Structure 1
């Protein structure tokens, strides 16, 4: 209610923006910290000789589970009626379930146990992902959509480096790092929900669905203007895949490709993360307001994707830490600009506003799938021709993604 009143007065909805930011950080930082650093470290302890293949296998299974869970849970959120709103119950339940999975992750000692745990974690995580991003479609006034998207984008740019920085401090105490992330998740998620203040929707009428309508409510959209929607989905998938083709193996890049000790790798991971954080947040802050001022979403997203293509190719030049620092500066800037306007672009190409959480969940499934697809591609390249070629491969993926974004017609 407060957000509607704020919008009607023409005031910027700061509570919505900061609520989305904190809610996003609540799941993103713990997830990325564990997924990119602590989980590979745990796998390296259990099966050091098969670590690359196991990470790829785990990513494949997680991709399949996340795809199904994201669509179903997003669709259920769209159709939820409760005294706590349609998004809050799912986000809160997702928080509880991810905490349970994190706790049991500290107890498992086998690869099969990790696979089962991480699959269940993907189900729990996507209870939070799709409903949270739907707040932008539900509550953000159109004239401020770019700026509200920037809050989400700044969170995306904070997530990877901060998660890595925290996790890198716990490479020799993996369980301790997981417990820290659990505490972090509770504080930030609850603070985000409080700020957004999504109230009861008990009076809302939910249309009963039959036949093909019921199928489409829990499936990829096939009606309406879906061309631009799928261009946005696959453009985002390639961008995120290129990013995680590197970050999914960043610990191994420093140790195996650059031949550093674990201590030196930890130090350089921290430096790289600081660079990513500064560059990402700096460009993330300006992206949304620029989009609102010049009414240009597509060109900003495409330009950021091209810039990312240059950044990800740099480490192929020399297997030395300085190349990862340059990569962090260029890619961090690109990710900052991209993430700050990406959600506004996604909302603009939705084929049906009544299925916002489900459809935005599909768009943002590109995040989950990209974090999985990237490591799979990296694993194939590393196993066949070595680490060096993974970097130009990531660059090609970015350029193709930029081409898809430029093909969108509905948005400038």
Structure 2
């Protein structure tokens, strides 16, 4: 039994066995499913619902709901990830949380779809964030649990592009079901649950019988989050890089609907189709660049140069939004930024797993700490965006995207001090 656990990834010093392409495909679809449930509201439907309920304060209301939701996710992900690390069920450490979280998320999305006030919209969205992060924290931990180093670049590429594939899939779903009723929230959630269930049914999770039991101690769990950057500088620099780049990505994702409405001139009724076109372009660019970059990173054994170049390309895409206001310019910006994001997401997660502390026993917790760099910008972006938009009297999207581009460049610079990987 001990040798089985080592071969499957519970031994910090022994490489897990390589996984099949079928495993990678099922994993990709599961991550896409989780993001389909959460990113469709973030990028499309939540903005539409908020605009319908509070047309005169839509930007600030959306910023508050998403901002608080991101703060909740920032706490929930590492906390629930640590509970996954502690789990010793006959179904394993990860599957109960992966499936259970999505079941709760579907229920919360059902409530969100029927909510008739901003308060109910906010409450159901915050519950959705908790449930989604329970599922996501456990699923992300599968990589350090089960994936050997020589395959992490490719699986990181698949995982990295999953959120953008989900955005495209969500736009396609909304293009079919429309934006007028409950189904724009429920259908993405149900599809996400189905994809997660397929992965869980086929996942050969490492057995936990040989792992030492870890009692549930709330105060000890809280102390575990006191992370000292000086003890793990490579992990800390990787965290900072993701935080800065993700801020730029959060600005783009959160405000693309309002940019198309306020600058390009679409209405809340017609904005679904251009978002679908942009998502199609984004998804194609990210898939191509992610697969190519992940493969090249594994072949060359290099991570940092890909992350550095990707951050600069993404910043260039954001900068394009400052020089034009047409739909064609918006699509050009989406194409360039998506190429950069595809390269970045393909390699960045593999870099993080390579320098992850305590990979054998605390993978979900430490990946959850890293995931704070994903979700904190989702709170910071809508909280700070109104400050940039207000420059010059309001509606200054040029200032907003300029700030996001500069911060993304700083994210590129943050990978330079990392020494544990090339």
Same fold (TM over 0.5): yes
Q: Aligned ranges for residues 81-92 of structure 1 at < 5 Å?
A: 81-92=88-99
Q: 1:303 is matched with which residue: 309, 319, 326?
A: 309
The CA RMSD measured in Å over matched residues stands at: 2.5
- Looking at structure 2, the residues matched to 160 and 371 of structure 1 have their Cα atoms a distance apart, in angstroms, of 15
Matched, 1:395 2:402: no
Q: 1:17 is matched with which residue: 10, 13, 24?
A: 24
Deviates more, 1:44-53 or 1:376-385: 376-385
CA contact (8 A) 1:298 1:406 kept: yes
1:343 equivalent in structure 2: 349
* 3-state SS of 1:249 partner: helix
Matched, 1:167 2:177: no
1:178 equivalent in structure 2: 185
- Looking at structure 1, the residues matched to 196 and 110 of structure 2 have their Cα atoms a distance apart, in angstroms, of 17
CA contact (8 A) 1:21 1:152 kept: yes
Alignment gaps of 5+ in structure 1: none
2:297 equivalent in structure 1: 291
CA contact (8 A) 1:34 1:167 kept: no
1:280-327: CA deviation from partner (whole Å, max 9, x where unpaired):
100111121111111111111111111000001111111111111111
Q: TM-score with structure 1 length normalisation?
A: 0.93
Deviation at 1:52, TM superposition (A): 0.3
Give the count of matched residue pairs. Answer: 411
Deviates more, 1:262-271 or 1:247-256: 262-271
CA change 1:5–1:407 in 2 (3 A) is closer
Deviates more, 1:126-135 or 1:380-389: 380-389
CA change 1:72–1:204 in 2 (3 A) is same
Q: 1:187 is matched with which residue: 159, 175, 194?
A: 194
CA contact (8 A) 1:157 1:284 kept: no
Matched, 1:241 2:217: no
CA contact (8 A) 1:246 1:375 kept: no
CA contact (8 A) 1:42 1:174 kept: no
Matched, 1:40 2:50: no
- Looking at structure 1, the residues matched to 300 and 357 of structure 2 have their Cα atoms a distance apart, in angstroms, of 24
Q: 2:327 is matched with which residue: 321, 329, 351?
A: 321
Deviation at 1:4, TM superposition (A): 4.3
1:98-131: CA deviation from partner (whole Å, max 9, x where unpaired):
0110010112111111111111111111101111
CA contact (8 A) 1:71 1:358 kept: yes
1:3-23: CA deviation from partner (whole Å, max 9, x where unpaired):
948999975532432232111
Deviation at 1:160, TM superposition (A): 2.4
Matched, 1:27 2:49: no
* 3-state SS of 2:209 partner: coil
2:390 equivalent in structure 1: 383
Instruction: Name the structure where helix makes up a greater proportion of residues.
Output: 1
1:350-380: CA deviation from partner (whole Å, max 9, x where unpaired):
1222211011112123222223322223232
Deviation at 1:170, TM superposition (A): 4.7
Deviation at 1:270, TM superposition (A): 1.8
1:408 equivalent in structure 2: 418
CA contact (8 A) 2:310 2:344 kept: yes
1:282 equivalent in structure 2: 288
- Looking at structure 2, the residues matched to 131 and 224 of structure 1 have their Cα atoms a distance apart, in angstroms, of 27
Matched, 1:152 2:159: yes
Alignment gaps of 5+ in structure 2: none
Q: TM-score with structure 2 length normalisation?
A: 0.90
Q: 1:106 is matched with which residue: 97, 113, 125?
A: 113
Q: 1:118 is matched with which residue: 125, 129, 133?
A: 125
1:33-60: CA deviation from partner (whole Å, max 9, x where unpaired):
1121101100011000010001111122
Deviation at 1:243, TM superposition (A): 1.1
- Looking at structure 2, the residues matched to 292 and 369 of structure 1 have their Cα atoms a distance apart, in angstroms, of 29
CA contact (8 A) 2:149 2:354 kept: no
Moved over 4 A (4+): 1-12, 168-171, 207-215
- Looking at structure 2, the residues matched to 152 and 258 of structure 1 have their Cα atoms a distance apart, in angstroms, of 32
Q: 1:371 is matched with which residue: 349, 368, 378?
A: 378
